[in-house]
Structure 1
Amino acid sequence: MCLYYQDHVDQAFQHFQRVLRLFPDHEKTKEIYKKAKNLKLKKEEGNEAFKAGRVQAAYTLYTEALQIDPHNLSTNAKLYFNRATVSSKLGRLNEAIADCSAALELDSIYLKALLRRAKCYMDLGEYEDAVRDYESACKMDKSRENKRLLQEAKLTLKKSKRKDYYKILGIDRNASTDEIKKAYRKRALVHHPDRHANASDGEKKEQERKFKEVGEAYGILSDPKKRARYDNGQDLEDMDGMGANVDPTTVFQAFFGDQYAFGNGGFTFQFG
């Protein structure tokens, strides 16, 4: 029984069979042996289904296996992990996280379950949870791969807390220089404060904020070096004074020159 509960099923079978040869009517042995065989069979069926690409069938089989013996914590931890792998493949990430958590409750040092949960957190954009799990994983196993995963998670978390300049300009991360300029031209003209001179005080402040963000975004993304550093997750404060300290009016004038003029709430086009 000790071997069975430690998931050494084949070794446990040898002992069960020896007992039954000596005492064919030993009820406790017959009961536990039957349960062990059913559990092993159901788990193997689930594994075979998963390898064959029948992921939903695998999920069902792992679920049925989990109902056979709730006292076999070691095997059930692996079954929860297997089902989490299936859920992850099916895109059901929250279910995968729940199953990884269940596996870790049964086996707190189950590294594979911890790494799987961390990956699901990353895919869901829950980066702080992912960093926490990768930190725990590195405490268990300081492998180069685990350290790499932790650093990537920390960098992604850092990026997620910054302003998304691509989103502010409404462009994707592969946008060309011309696309960045076009996006800035469009957004800057829309949000320029003089265009909203007659708006409420609250709306004026909102447009000023957006105008400044558009200027920041253009100031960073239009410069290849600053853009590369931004994409790599470097702090804006380190970018030669760019970022939060940008003067949006200066950026606007540098971009448009004398093409547009503003004043007293007016917004006029200057012809050459």
Structure 2
Amino acid sequence: MAAAAECDVVMAATEPELLDDEEVKREAESFKEQGNAYYAKKDYNEAYNYYTKAIDMCPKNASYYGNRAATLMMLGRFREALGDAQQSVRLDDGFVRGHLREGKCHLSLGNAMAACRSFQRALELDHKNTQAQQEFKNANAVMEYEKIAETDFEKRDFRKVVFCMDRALEFAPACHRFKILKAECLAMLGRYPEAQSVASDILRMDSTNADALYVRGLCLYYEDCIEKAVQFFVQALRMAPDHEKACIACRNAKALKAKKEDGNKAFKDGNYKLAYELYTEALGIDPNNIKTNAKLYCNRGTVNSKLRKLDDAIEDCTNAVKLDDTYIKAYLRRAQCYMDTEQYEEAVRDYEKVYQTEKTKEHKQLLKNAQLELKKSKRKDYYKILGVDKNASEDEIKKAYRKRALMHHPDRHSGASAEVQKEEEKKFKEVGEAFTILSDPKKKTRYDSGQDLDEEGVNMADFDANNIFKAFFGGPGGFSFEASGPGNFFFQFG
């Protein structure tokens, strides 16, 4: 019996002590007070732990849920906070701070209409509550920003949409919907790194978010990384098969990739007409894809240059640089077309742009060549004056001089008007200048290389064309012009 009694004593000592309701409440209050202390120190994780202990002790206490909701809000865990805030007002519909926190969570998550209802209930309970009044205004402002953004998106005013979403996110920092809309518009504006950053932040929290996957793909698509973009669009459609935007973007990306590759193949095969048609078809697929379209315009410009449609090639390259003003290849292609059409000032401008961007030896030489041709184009074209090409022989130059000198000699036009005589005298002098330069190998070399002839002591201002003419035709008295009829002359040697 003694052994049995001892066992009972031991068993009694190991049984848990049961607390009465008052003790439970006191312990729960102790946990809440400790939670408050940690909250005041901004140690929200510890505060959360103690509020949870208080709730476990007294799961029917509205203020405990309200406090934990406030802590979760400080931790940025708004969805969990919303659940606690809603539980607090279910337990006590007259709990004003509970309604305020519920509204704040709704607003932070982007549900402005639900937030308005919560703030309205708080004002019904306390119509002088200044926080509820201000938050109600904030919720209405967010709804207005949403409305404006929706209209501006339809108008394709993407800058305005970004502005509205930035303002809305000041009140709704946890709203993925607002962030996605902002990111999509940033992509449409060509601000790809910003758009990618927003989408990537969301995907880190939710890797299955179809909207974020779509925006990530959109950025790659617009950066001409079409193959990678398709992968993201396909993944978005796997998460949300009815995602209309991802479906359209995926279809466009595949079509654009195929047309561009077909055009490139036709070009390599020398089938320029087909290449032109394919690049043109590709340009009609998606006008929003600026970077890819810039490349397509440049490719089509190259085709036009091969077809010797240089004006069309220049126009295509101009369209390319309008879409992408950093596209060096398009500037180089257009500059070459300008050179081929003797538009040297425009060529210099393009080569300067290229050299400022990429200071390579090759680009420097291209610029120097264009500057030289521009300089040469601004002086008299002696080859053109004589009517010969740049590879004319010495005999061809002499024959050309003989013909042009006789054609423009002042004596031949002595019966013409003063204006005509003046013009022919000018041409006669230019013919003499041309012959003086092009018949002298050293001067011709300097002229062809674009060097200044003044350095050789050639002063064309004091040049006398008659001396060249007399020397060429044998001196004074060796020739004369006589009329053979009205306006007709023939040349006679003495």
- Larger CA deviation: 53-62 vs 131-140: 53-62
Q: What is residue 269 of structure 1 aligned with on the other side? A: 493
Q: TM-score, normalised by structure 2?
A: 0.52
Q: How far apart are the structure 2 equivalents of 1:252 and 1:153?
A: 36
Could you give the per-residue CA deviations for residues 84-123 of structure 1, whole angstroms, max 9, x where no partner exists?
A: 1111111111111111111111111000001111111111
**Matched letter for residue 269 of structure 1:** F
Deviation at 1:124, TM superposition (A): 1.2
Q: How far apart are the structure 2 equivalents of 1:41 and 1:244?
A: 64
Rg comparison, structure with higher value:
2
Higher RCO structure, 1 or 2 (CA under 8 Å, sep 6+): 1
Task: Give yes or no for contact 2:413–2:421 (8 Å, CA) kept in 1.
Answer: yes
- Larger CA deviation: 231-240 vs 218-227: 231-240
**Matched letter for residue 65 of structure 1:** A
1:1-272 pair list within 5 angstroms: 1-258=218-475, 260-261=478-479, 268-270=492-494
CA RMSD between the two structures: 2.1
Task: Give yes or no for contact 1:216–1:243 (8 Å, CA) kept in 2.
Answer: yes
Deviation at 1:198, TM superposition (A): 2.1
Alpha carbons of 1:263 and 1:4: their partners in 2 closer, same or farther (altered >3 Å)? closer
Q: What is residue 212 of structure 2 aligned with on the other side? A: none
Q: How far apart are the structure 2 equivalents of 1:28 and 1:182?
A: 73
Alpha carbons of 1:25 and 1:155: their partners in 2 closer, same or farther (altered >3 Å)? same
Alpha carbons of 1:248 and 1:108: their partners in 2 closer, same or farther (altered >3 Å)? same
**Matched letter for residue 87 of structure 1:** N
Deviation at 1:256, TM superposition (A): 2.3
Could you give the per-residue CA deviations for residues 169-215 of structure 1, whole angstroms, max 9, x where no partner exists?
A: 22222222222222222222232222322222112112211111111
Q: How far apart are the structure 2 equivalents of 1:62 and 1:263?
A: 63
Task: Give yes or no for contact 2:300–2:313 (8 Å, CA) kept in 1.
Answer: yes
SS at match of 2:429: helix
Alpha carbons of 1:264 and 1:178: their partners in 2 closer, same or farther (altered >3 Å)? closer
Deviation at 1:262, TM superposition (A): 5.3
Q: TM-score, normalised by structure 1?
A: 0.92
SS at match of 1:171: coil
Q: How far apart are the structure 2 equivalents of 1:174 and 1:27?
A: 65
Deviation at 1:37, TM superposition (A): 0.9
Task: Give yes or no for contact 2:412–2:481 (8 Å, CA) kept in 1.
Answer: no
Task: Give yes or no for contact 2:409–2:424 (8 Å, CA) kept in 1.
Answer: yes
Task: Give yes or no for contact 1:155–1:233 (8 Å, CA) kept in 2.
Answer: yes
Task: Give yes or no for contact 2:338–2:346 (8 Å, CA) kept in 1.
Answer: yes
Task: Give yes or no for contact 2:256–2:285 (8 Å, CA) kept in 1.
Answer: yes
Task: Give yes or no for contact 1:192–1:207 (8 Å, CA) kept in 2.
Answer: yes
Q: How far apart are the structure 1 equivalents of 2:237 and 2:302?
A: 37
Deviation at 1:17, TM superposition (A): 2.2
Number of matched pairs: 270
Unmatched runs of 5 consecutive residues or more in structure 2:
1-217, 484-488
Task: Give yes or no for contact 1:76–1:103 (8 Å, CA) kept in 2.
Answer: yes
Q: How far apart are the structure 2 equivalents of 1:240 and 1:3?
A: 63
SS at match of 2:326: coil
**Matched letter for residue 217 of structure 1:** A
Q: How far apart are the structure 1 equivalents of 2:397 and 2:313?
A: 39
SS at match of 2:411: helix
Q: How far apart are the structure 1 equivalents of 2:265 and 2:481?
A: 74
Task: Give yes or no for contact 1:168–1:214 (8 Å, CA) kept in 2.
Answer: yes
